[in-house]
């Protein structure tokens, strides 16, 4: 395994599961010291133990908790190099605009968008101190494409993450801090598997739009995060980084 992240400190939110967990493993394998942040104490602690890192239980919508996460990371490891702001939710009561209530709308905005604002707000000052850093914010392919099967607040929140990441990338470019929005296509997570195992027609309706004819594996998303985190991506900032099997480029897909 390449060790391009040797000596770097990474804070990953939503590290207990899915993309965050795969990324914790990948960044640690490339030499980073990893701080795993999640609401889920049991799986978060398990993830941290597995990567020989540190677990901090925190709700990423809580300003004081987020501020404390980066303080603790820097106190423990001396610096902050990588922030992967990845925690997010996609609850069933976020649906068509016609049926989604204000409480459901607000909850998704808080967890998916306000949390990224807070994480960037409190990570950037630590990075400015040593004039270097890489922030990767998890958006989604739905930030750049519309779906008739709407999750209205989710899509709007990811559009917000994309625009905010671009703006921060531009603002801090001359200070050595890169900020990119990672836009995964649909990923083969337990949630997605369970949903589509029950309803193969629903899976097929989505898969037809993916030129590669399959969903992503979490490891494939983690590999993209490791790249963006590393100096191999030294000229990449304010970018819409799509890892989507070609979905966003497709009109007609192969049979």
Ligand X SMILES: NC(=O)c1ccc[n+]([C@@H]2O[C@H](COP(=O)([O-])OP(=O)(O)OC[C@H]3O[C@@H](n4cnc5c(N)ncnc54)[C@H](O)[C@@H]3O)[C@@H](O)[C@H]2O)c1
Residues noted as catalytic? 154
Q: Dihedral of the CA atoms 163, 164, 170, 173 (nearest 10)? A: -140
The structure tokens listed for 104 are 């459901």
Rule CB under 6 A: choose which of 20, 53, 169, 245 binds ligand X: 20
- What totals of helices (H) and strands (E) does the chain contain, helices first? 9, 7
Q: By CB under 6 A, is residue 123 in contact with ligand X?
A: no
Please name every residue paired with 54 in a beta bridge, in sequence order, or none if there are none.
Answer: 35
Minimum Å gap between C-beta 31 and ligand X is: 23
Q: By CB under 6 A, is residue 164 in contact with ligand X?
A: no
Q: By CB under 6 A, is residue 85 in contact with ligand X?
A: no
Q: By CB under 6 A, is residue 203 in contact with ligand X?
A: no
Q: By CB under 6 A, is residue 87 in contact with ligand X?
A: yes
Sites for ligand X among residues 21-40 (CB under 6 A): 38-40
Buried-state track 132-151, b at ≥16 Cβ within 10 A, e below 16? bbbbbbbbbbbbbbeeeebb
Q: By CB under 6 A, is residue 187 in contact with ligand X?
A: yes
Q: Which strands, in side-by-side order, build the sheet including 33-38? A: 54-57, 33-38, 9-13, 82-85, 133-138, 177-184, 240-243
Rule CB under 6 A: choose which of 9, 109, 138, 239 binds ligand X: 138
User: Contact residues for ligand X (CB under 6 A)?
Assistant: 13-14, 16-20, 38-40, 59-61, 86-90, 111, 138, 140, 184, 186-187, 189, 192
């Amino acid at each position: 395994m390449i060790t391009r992240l040797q000596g770097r400190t990474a804070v990953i939110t939503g590290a207990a599961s899915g993309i965050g967990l795969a990324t914790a493993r990948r960044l640690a394998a490339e030499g980073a010291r990893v701080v795993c942040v999640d609401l889920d104490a049991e799986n978060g602690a398990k993830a941290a133990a597995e990567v020989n890192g540190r677990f901090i239980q925190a709700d990423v919508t809580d300003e004081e908790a987020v501020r404390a996460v980066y303080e603790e990371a820097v106190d423990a490891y001396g610096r902050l190099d990588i922030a992967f702001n990845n925690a997010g939710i996609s609850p069933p009561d976020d649906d068509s605009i016609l049926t989604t209530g204000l409480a459901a709308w607000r909850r998704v905005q808080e967890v998916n968008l306000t949390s990224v604002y807070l994480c960037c707000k409190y990570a950037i000052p630590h990075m400015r101190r040593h004039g270097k850093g890489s922030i990767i914010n998890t958006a989604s392919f739905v930030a750049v494409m519309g779906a008739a099967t709407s999750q209205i607040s989710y899509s709007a929140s990811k559009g917000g993450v994309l625009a905010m990441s671009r703006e921060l990338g531009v603002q801090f470019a001359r200070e050595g801090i890169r900020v990119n929005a990672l836009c995964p296509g649909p990923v083969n997570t337990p949630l997605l598997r369970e949903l589509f195992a029950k309803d193969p027609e629903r899976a097929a309706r989505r898969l037809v739009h993916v030129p590669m004819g399959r969903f992503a594996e979490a490891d494939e998303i983690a590999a993209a995060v490791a790249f963006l985190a590393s100096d191999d991506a030294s000229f990449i900032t304010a970018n819409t980084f799509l890892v989507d099997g070609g979905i966003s480029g497709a009109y007609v897909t192969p049979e």
